[in-house]
Amino acid sequence: MKNTLIIIIVLLSIFAVLGCSRTMGKKEENPDKSGVTFGEDMTTIFAINTTKVIKGQLLNYLEINGDVITESKVDVYAEAMGKLTSLNVSIGDRIEKDAIIGEVDPSRPGMKYAKSPIKSPITGTVTSLPVYIGSTVSPSVPVATISKMDSLRIRTYVAERFISKMKVGIDAIIRLEAFPEESFSATVSELSPVVDPLTRTMEVNLDFKGQYDKVKAGMFAEIKIITERKNGILKIPADCLVKRYGGYFVFVVKDNATVEKRAVTTGILIDNKLEILKGLKAGEEIVIRGQTLLEDNAKVKVIERIEPLHVEDIIR
């Protein structure tokens, strides 16, 4: 019985040793689901995604709101006080200059006068009719508003601290709530010569460029006025940047197998696009995902290469 027990213990010890040797010989894959693997020599290998440094354009802009308005509109007044006896137009009608909008009867009890016509001073579209037949009108109250709808513009107001960035001729991108999937081009056409002392803002007008047939006066506009164009600069996605111990770094891929921890000097940041002033070269491959645990000369495996930024900047 004693000999049998000794034999069982020896066999169990042999099986335990064989099991450990098999485990040590295997490659361990993703033990903690962090993107880290180990090679045959137990060297840590980090899974990463990369992109490239691009030399191109970066646009800075001011984002504000405004309204679509007609470039010109005129209020129409009656020449005499009296009762409005006829009205020949409706809102939305297009009329020519000197066309008769309606007639006013200036007669009084015991006095009979000829009817006075109300004429349109310009060619345009009727956008307002605050009166109706039978109303009493006078030379001080507008009977209608005539607007030139074929020439629209955007009116906005810029805070005093941004006035120095405004110049006639600079471009802008316009988005309208009525057409959320589209954008329209515009340019700054007029700058007010004064600042409103109450709101500390300056009026700025912009003209549409290209086709804008669908746009209507009165629409709410989201405006991005391009205040600065930087050409021939290095730019990367801001997600590539790592901040540690007060410094800024980017990890550059070397020989598709290791990374170099590279200190960089940054410029402006616009829409997650970062200007690089010093530390990188155009075309270098850098880590965009998986850099959290990286150190200088760490071994890596590129899982995916992300499309780099466009050379020409695009504002949406």
For residue range 140-176, what is the model confidence (pLDDT) as tens digits? 999 999 988 878 899 999 999 999 999 999 999 999 9
Nearest to residue 50, comparing CAs of 234, 248, 258? 258
For residue range 211-221, what is the model confidence (pLDDT) as tens digits? 888 898 889 99
Q: Cβ distance 236 to 169 under 8 Å?
A: no
Q: Where are the domains of the chain?
A: 36-58+231-305, 61-70+151-230, 75-147
The stretch 224-241 carries a mean pLDDT of 96
For residue range 99-128, what is the model confidence (pLDDT) as tens digits? 999 999 999 888 898 999 999 999 989 989
**pLDDT tops 80 at residue 48:** yes
The model carries a pTM of: 0.70
Structural domain 61-70+151-230, CATH architecture: Beta Barrel (2.40)
Write the CATH number of the domain with boundaries 36-58+231-305. 2.40.420.20
pLDDT bracket for residue 287 (50, 70, 90):
very high
Q: Cβ distance 294 to 44 under 8 Å?
A: no
Write the CATH number of the domain with boundaries 75-147. 2.40.50.100
Is the pLDDT higher at 111 or at 202?
202
**pLDDT tops 80 at residue 316:** no
pLDDT bracket for residue 25 (50, 70, 90):
very low
Q: What are phi and psi of 106, to 5 degrees?
A: -85, 10
